[in-house]
Structure 1
């Protein structure tokens, strides 16, 4: 049995390897190195079911690995799929995408 914490987590930060080093008070961070938007879209629904009920805010940081493929229409389609996930969760979602241009 895990000990109860004084302040249960209220936020999930999820994304590719850039999210790995992010640490905030009352937040759980999960990173999937090399993940694309499609990868996060696939993993997120199952992952949301395993969260503590105190989590009500989800920050999704993804898209960096997609820019290397230079397939903007595919990435746009994947983002549209990802944006459908929040509709039935009752949680607040925030999306952050980093786009590097060379």
Structure 2
């Protein structure tokens, strides 16, 4: 089975995929752990995705800042997630505003 890991941080993706991580980098420990986990999965692909492309993951990440620390299991989808699940599943496009500095 193939596993696709999508991240909205291009910097994180680049660090994890890099072969020359500096051990003094502030995220070296976390990046090394991610690399180790990815090596344990035979067919695992990691790539960047804009947060607008996966609104469900973005909203869940934002929600995680408002809950207590610990391990959470969602047996049912929160009602506020329903419209985003539908949009993501049918590929609704969203506008991305960028600055031209």
Q: TM-score, normalised by structure 2?
A: 0.26
Bigger strand fraction = 1
Flag the structure with higher helix content.
Answer: 2
